[in-house]
Amino acid sequence: MALDRQDSKKDTLFASGDEPGTAFVFDERVVQVFPDMIARSAPGYELMVPMIGLLARRYGQEESNIYDLGCSLGATTLAIRDAVRARNVRIIAVDNSPAMVRQCRENMERYQGPVTVDVRQEDIRDTRFENASVVALNLTLQFIDRKDRLPLLQRIAGGMNPGAALVLSEKVRFENARSQQDQADWHHDFKRARGYSDLEIARKRTALENVLQPDTEQIHQQRLLEAGFSRVERWFQCFSFQSFVAFR
């Protein structure tokens, strides 16, 4: 069961009316359009989500916890829940946006499944990690203050079992100015092809400034190793969107 963008209201939040310069927040208005917004903004999102389900199928361990951090409306939680085969797992889905959590809980009620899902409204920096076999950070770490990223990853690693896997998906930036410009242009083309106007794209970029803070692939890889992961594999890239599996 997936949360399809066809079932979502169309995202026109930045088409008109918004005060330029207002910082982006995950509020009720964003919740209303979120499946459409993320599918039209994050190249590869619609592929990454079911693949995270497959990774959970491979790395999920019996009698363990699976965490979906920054779960939004629960798309990744549902993909994991439907794909996982290990018995007696519990999915803990965490988001600190009250509006997201409210709708996520409704979605879990609507699309019932055999795996227990515990949806928590909490800052993931306060989440306690224990007995984890799979942890998903799908496009969430980029919203966490940079100074808090390493401590968070260390605490996640500390709660993971041997053989467990963290899936980290992020928008990344590129050290090389030419690469950064090309990648930004290609991302812009993607959004334009999915129906956003140049004005909407520019307004969203301004709203996300200082809210979404991308790191380079090298920083991600080094930080994961420093946090206690033994090996990191990049399994996905579409323009500036990358995803890694980090093994405990």
Measured CA to CA, the distance from residue 216 to residue 206 in angstroms comes to 20
Q: Which residues contact 26 (CB under 8 A, 6 or more apart)?
A: 72, 95, 97, 99, 100
* Alpha helix segments (H runs only) across the chain: 28-41, 45-59, 75-83, 98-110, 146-158, 177-193, 198-208, 217-227
Q: Contact between 95 and ligand GEK (CB under 6 A)? A: yes
By CB under 6 A, tell whether 138 contacts ligand GEK. yes
| Dihedral angle sign, alpha carbons of residues 17, 33, 125, 238 | negative
Site for ligand GEK in 41-80 (CB under 6 A): 42, 49, 70-72, 75-76
Segment contacting ligand GEK (CB under 6 A): 9-17, 108-116, 123-131, 228-236?
123-131
Nearer to ligand GEK, 62 or 123 (CB): 123
Residue 108 φ/ψ, nearest 5 degrees: -65, -35
Give the separation between CA 22 and CA 205, rounded to whole angstroms. Answer: 11
Integer Cα distance of 136 and 165 in angstroms: 9
CB closer to ligand GEK, 24 vs 59 = 24
Query: Which range, of 134-142, 172-180, 217-225, 231-239, touches ligand GEK by CB under 6 A?
Result: 134-142
Beta bridge partners of 136: 68, 167
Q: Does 215 bind ligand GEK (CB under 6 A)?
A: no
Segment contacting ligand GEK by CB under 6 A, of 133-141, 159-167, 221-229, 235-243: 133-141
Residue closer to ligand GEK, measured from CB, 208 or 219:
208
Position closest to ligand GEK via CB:
70
**CA 11 vs CA 24, 36, 43, 195, 196: distances in Å:** 14, 6, 16, 10, 9
Indicate the residue among 64 and 77 with the shorter CB distance to ligand GEK. 77
Identify the residue among 39, 91, 144, 172 touching ligand GEK (CB under 6 A).
144
Per CB under 6 A, 27 contacts ligand GEK: no
38 forms part of the interface with ligand GEK (CB under 6 A): yes
> Which residue, among 224, 219, 199, 202, has the nearest Cα to 135 in the 3D structure?
224
Instruction: Name which position in 5, 8, 11, 26 contacts ligand GEK (CB under 6 A).
Output: 26
Binding to ligand GEK by CB under 6 A, coded x per residue (else -) over 98-117, reads: --x-----------------
Interface with ligand GEK includes 97 (CB under 6 A)? yes
8 touches 36 (CB < 8 A): yes
Bridge partner list, 232: 246
Residues that bind ligand GEK (CB under 6 A): 26, 38, 42, 49, 70-72, 75-76, 94-97, 100, 123-125, 138-140, 143-144
